[in-house]
Amino acid sequence: MRPSRRLVALVLALAAATVLIGVYRLDGGVMAGALWAVLVVLAICDLALSHGAKNLQVEADLPDTGFVGHDVMLGLRIASRRRSLPRRIELRLTHDQRLAPRSATWVEIPGHGKADLACELPVTLQERGVGHLSRLSMRYASALGLFEVLPAWPLDLSIEIVPDVAPVLNGEIQSQMLPLLDGLKDMKLRGEGSEFHQLRDFQAGMDPRSIDWKRSARMRDLVARETWAERNHQIILCVDSGQLMAERIGKLRKLDHAINASLALTWAGALGGDNVGFYNFASRPQQFIPPRPGRRAFGHVQKRSVELEAETAETNHTLGLTHLNGVLTRRSLVVVFSDFVDSVTVELLVENLAVISRQHLVLYVVLRDPELEALIHPEDISMGRIAEAVSARQMLQERQAVLDRLRRLGILCLDTTPDRLTAGLISRYIDIKSQELI
């Protein structure tokens, strides 16, 4: 418990009155003492009428697991043993850096006189790992508002924060892959799907070029060839875990966005019948998980990605990509999640991607920062804002120049915002599959 601002203001006002009494009255001691005595009586009455913190009881519940970047709800049940709960209470949580609850949450007690309250506080999961909630602090005003009561309870709650596989679990990936799985998409697109699937009767509206004339002649009826995309391609997810990937965009770090997209692509690859491998590098090459078919690859990649942390050292693209080029024996789709600062430091990355692209199909994935885009188009036009806009635009132009250069080298580039990353990556994968670029 501590004095409220109201009490502090009263004390300051009384102090000023005391000084005036001392200056203007020769025997003002009794008068000043009486004023202070009134305040003391008020404070004692306030304490007697207020809710005691010892009468409060709190139960908290947190889910065991959550996806990074998502909000989980901390369930709270606050009960008062004797009286009803205070009309308004404020809650704060002591936590580690992996969690980000709202700094202070006011909880209005619906219906005065209630002795029991159940509520939920949103907690954002910021980083992968195990997040801890260690303490719940509460604040409510005393009956007359002269004091703030500050009870606190130890919580000791933990939550395992894992990469976001929600798109996998809720079927989003599967629904996006359906056209490829059914063979419908490659029936509509020219030149895609070279692997023979079956013959079927030609129906009006089908592409005439799909008619198999030799068999139609033999069967004396029009027969169309139905194909589907080739399977058993090799996909390598190459994640840079250097210092630049530790930058936070939105709620998550770039590395977390990359891992979430990697897991989604792994699942898509499993659905598409391809083998998926995982590789990550930073200042030195790190673990390489060889390509595996089906859902086994997903389990391995998920396990590895949970442990992955961004380094504080600069990425060595030459060492990392040369090592990968050495271990790959078959033409693969190499999806590189990385980042760069400017056109000078990116030279080594471009050079090594160019070397890999001679044998493999490289898809370079880079995340665009929406805040940077917002800086370019300021709401109000002042000289300071314009200077920031020009500065940010120069940075983006350098970035665009690098991506253009990579495209000219035959490297596929995906430059997108974090919220569109997973969908954009799966879409690009489907395009690559249907166009048989691998």
Partner 1 sequence: MSDSAPQDTRAGKGPFLVVGALLLAGLLLLVTQSGIFGDRQIDRSPIGVQGLGAWLDRNDIAVTNSHPRLSPAVADLSFRVLPLYDLDLTGFHADREKRDDPAGAETLRDITATNLRTKLEEIPTLVLLPKWNGAMVETEVAHEQSLIPLARIERLIGQLDISGVELVRGVAEFYEDNQGGHDLALFHAQVFNPSTLPAQCRAEVGYGLGSLVVSCPLAEASHRAYFASDPDTLNNHGLAVADNAAFALDLLADLRGADTNPIYIDRSPDLLTRLDRGDERQDYDRGFEELERFFDYPFTLFWAALLIVLAVLFWRGALRFGPIRPAAGQGRDTSKRAAIAAKARLLRLSGNDGRMVSDFVRAQLQDLAARSFGRDLGGEAEARFMSLLARRDPDLARDFGACARNLIDNAPGMPPAQLNRMLGQYHSLLAKVVEHHGPV
Q: Which residues make up the interface to partner 1 (CB under 8 A)?
A: 1-3, 7-8, 11-12, 14-15, 18-19, 21-23, 26-29, 32, 36, 90, 92-95, 97, 103-104, 135, 137, 139, 148, 150, 243, 246-248, 369, 371-372, 375-377, 380-381, 383-384, 386-395
Q: Which is nearer to partner 1, 95 or 185 (CB)?
A: 95
Q: Which is nearer to partner 1, 229 or 259 (CB)?
A: 259
Q: Tell which residue, 25, 336, 357, has the closest CA to residue 33.
A: 25
Rounded to a whole number of angstroms, the minimum distance from the CB of residue 341 to partner 1 is 9
Q: Tell which residue, 305, 335, 310, 367, has the closest CA to residue 163.
A: 305
What is residue 312's DSSP assignment?
Answer: S
Rounded to a whole number of angstroms, the minimum distance from the CB of residue 434 to partner 1 is 23
Q: Which is nearer to partner 1, 104 or 169 (CB)?
A: 104
Q: Which is nearer to partner 1, 354 or 395 (CB)?
A: 395
Residues with Cβ within 8 Å of residue 122, at least 6 apart in sequence = 71, 72, 73, 74, 101, 102
Rounded to a whole number of angstroms, the minimum distance from the CB of residue 342 to partner 1 is 10
Rounded to a whole number of angstroms, the minimum distance from the CB of residue 125 to partner 1 is 17
In order of 10, 399, 414, the CA distances from 273 in angstroms are 75, 35, 23
Q: d(Cα 315, Cα 232) in Å, to the nearest integer? A: 31
Q: Which is nearer to partner 1, 31 or 169 (CB)?
A: 31
Q: Is 178 helix (H, G, I), strand (E, B) or coil?
A: helix
β 129-141/147-149 pair status: antiparallel
Q: What single letter denotes the amino acid at residue 73? A: M
What is residue 418's DSSP assignment?
Answer: G
Q: Which is nearer to partner 1, 208 or 384 (CB)?
A: 384
Task: Tell the burial category of 308 from Cβ atoms under 10 Å away from its Cβ (0-12, 13-18, 19+).
Answer: buried
Task: Tell the burial category of 55 from Cβ atoms under 10 Å away from its Cβ (0-12, 13-18, 19+).
Answer: middle
Rounded to a whole number of angstroms, the minimum distance from the CB of residue 310 to partner 1 is 9
Q: Which is nearer to partner 1, 95 or 304 (CB)?
A: 95
Q: Which is nearer to partner 1, 15 or 38 (CB)?
A: 15
Rounded to a whole number of angstroms, the minimum distance from the CB of residue 134 to partner 1 is 9
Q: Tell which residue, 227, 232, 226, has the closest CA to residue 194.
A: 227
Q: d(Cα 25, Cα 46) in Å, to the nearest integer? A: 31
Rounded to a whole number of angstroms, the minimum distance from the CB of residue 73 to partner 1 is 19
Rounded to a whole number of angstroms, the minimum distance from the CB of residue 12 to partner 1 is 6
Gap between the terminal Cα atoms of the chain: 68
